[in-house]
Structure formats: C-alpha cells, structure tokens
Amino acid sequence: MRLLDAVVNARMRWTAATNLRDLRPRVDDRRIPVIVTERHVVASDQDVVSVRLAAPGGGPLPAWRPGAHLDLELPSGLLRQYSLCGDPRDTRGYRIAVRRIPGGAGSAEVHDDLGVGRALAVRGPRNAFPFAAPGHGSPAARVRFVAGGIGITPILPMMRLADALGIEWTAIYTGRARATLPFLTEVEGFGPRARVRTDDRRGLPSPAELLDGVGPDTAVYCCGPAPMVAGIAAAVRGISGVELHSERFSAPPVVDGMPFEIQLSRGGEVIGVPADRSALEMLLRRRPDQPYSCRQGFCRTCKVRVLDGEPEHRDSVLTPAERAAGDLLVCVSRCAGGRLVLDL
C-alpha cells in the first residue's frame, strides 16, 4: 500500500506540475457574481443536486473546457471546488453537481441553502484535469473513461466532446447502486459504449474489470474515490502504452510522513500530528473554522504563516518567494522535524 500511495502521489505531483500554468492565479481568475437559475435532484436517492449558475444580468461567462472546476464562495463564506458538468458551449451558464456528504458543511449548504435566485460568487474556471483528445493533442488512439459516483461530473463533458469529435471511446460508470448514480439518463444516452455497473449487483469492481479491454495507445481518464483511482493507477503500470489522467475528490494519503507538532501562535496551544495524518486534519479537530477546500495542495485556501520551525513543503503552487516569506499549505505540507509555530 505504501508503494501504491507513493506511485499515486508521484503521479499527482507530476500532473499538477505539468498543469501549473492552469493552477496559478491568473489575470482572469477574478471573482464573478452569479445567481442560481436552476436546481434539480439528479440521483434517485435524492442526495445529488445539480445547480445552474448564471451572471445576474444573464451575460456571457468565462469559457471553460472539459475537466475544469469552479471555486464557489458560498454565502456562509466557505470556499468549495466543484467540477463543471454542463456543456462548454453554454456560455451563459455553469452547471455543477454536489453530493450531500454526511457532516460536510459545504455540501449541506449547497443542498439546504442554494435555492433558485440565491446569489453567490465563483472564481475560475480552472482546469487541473484537462482532456487531450486523441488526434487533438494526445498520441493515444482511443479513450477509456472510468467514473465512480459523483466522479462522473468532470467525465461527462469529456464524453460529450469525445462523442462530438468522433473519436473511439468507451466508458465504465460505477457506484454502489443505480439510485446513487447522478446523470444516469445522460450517461446511458450514449448507448452501449457507456457501461453502468453497480456494486449491489456485481460487488466492488476490480481495477482489471474497470480496465477491461484497455490496451496500448489508450488514454484512461479516471475520476472517483481514492481507492478506485489508486487501484487503476497501479494496474495501468502493467499495461504498456497507456496514458493515465486522474482526479479524485479526497485528500491523498500521507506518504513517508513523520510525526510532528504544530503550535497555534507563540506560546499557544500545541497539537500533535501523527505520521499518517495531515496538519489540517488535526487542526480542524480544534479549530473547525480553519478555511480549506481542495485538501490536495493546489487551491491555497488553507494557507497559514509559519513563525518558527522548518517546513517540509509538499504543495504544488507556492512560489519560492512565498515559501521564503513563511507561507505553508497545511493540508499537505509538514514539518521537517520537531515543531512548527503557526500564526493562528
């Protein structure tokens, strides 16, 4: 498992580094006021809603490509990231979909408070999971999409684009049961090339099943739960000539971590961080209002200032100048030894 985690983490760092241009704040990375214009329940278990956001005057919004996400500034002040799952040709609306997570403040706010007419703001779109179609930027000859549950959100626009471009593609959409799967009608509208399989009928899928038929010259685009993505990453290594592109919606496991302490200001409370936990996770137990969003070291929401101690930076976005100034992303970065005193 440690080897598997190392492979996945290395892959994620490589992907983040190669997409740095997309991840860094840009001139057009501005705050955009929007209102909710539509809202629909899109899974029959009622736990996933899709929301359409539009400019208050109905004007055009910044363009995006499949794989992009938005930063939502929710009315409470929480910042959360959601993949765009609508049609990029719809220049006057963004569609996102959100599964209600037990105990998840962001998803609860979307479900309970974002009714039609509600105003909020977004930033972006930004793309950390870009789709390079065969013949249009990728040397691959065909594509396999693998989506787990709400992981269908970035994959769905990719499937539409692949279909429109007439490239060879197949998809497997998996989840616990059909009732939990959002956008089933849209996915099944693609016909037999988009296969739906559920755990309640066939048990948990193995990576081999999800990669069934995948051979050389195939690009695999995968989004879903961390174990599924990690399993596919490991399995793909055994197939030559396969590109893997993946995104997941949860914090990566800590790899090669050492225990350390964080101190909340000079002379303040001291919190222990075990080897397999992040500083953010331990911090949230004492300070539930600590801001965070991606938990993967690329959105900067959790940035804090280090007053003392030697950081071990594991993010992919802070510049050397920011690091020299003492900035630290507590969701992924750690201490090189001993204790970090944070300006909290």
Residues that bind ligand FES (CB under 6 A): 292-295, 297-302, 329, 331
The radius of gyration computed from the CA coordinates of the chain, to the nearest angstrom, equals 20
Give the single-character DSSP code of 27. Answer: T
Minimum CB–partner distance for residue 72 and ligand FES (Å):
14
User: In terms of CB distance, is 231 or 297 closer to ligand FES?
Assistant: 297
Minimum CB–partner distance for residue 124 and ligand FES (Å):
14
Strands (DSSP E) found in the chain: 31-41, 48-54, 68-73, 79-83, 94-99, 119-127, 142-148, 168-175, 194-198, 218-224, 242-248, 260-264, 270-273, 303-308, 311-312, 327-329, 334-335, 339-342
Minimum CB–partner distance for residue 327 and ligand FES (Å):
11
- Angle subtended at Cα 328 by Cα 16 and Cα 78, rounded to the nearest 5 degrees: 80
User: In terms of CB distance, is 198 or 290 closer to ligand FES?
Assistant: 290
Give the single-character DSSP code of 110. Answer: H
Minimum CB–partner distance for residue 330 and ligand FES (Å):
7
CA 167 to chain centre: 26
Name which of 331, 257, 259, 265 is nearest 292 in CA terms.
331
> What does residue 127 show for φ and ψ, rounded to 5 degrees?
-130, 110
User: In terms of CB distance, is 294 or 335 closer to ligand FES?
Assistant: 294
User: In terms of CB distance, is 127 or 301 closer to ligand FES?
Assistant: 301
User: In terms of CB distance, is 97 or 251 closer to ligand FES?
Assistant: 251
Minimum CB–partner distance for residue 300 and ligand FES (Å):
5
Place of tokens 């105003």: 119
Minimum CB–partner distance for residue 140 and ligand FES (Å):
30
User: In terms of CB distance, is 44 or 290 closer to ligand FES?
Assistant: 290
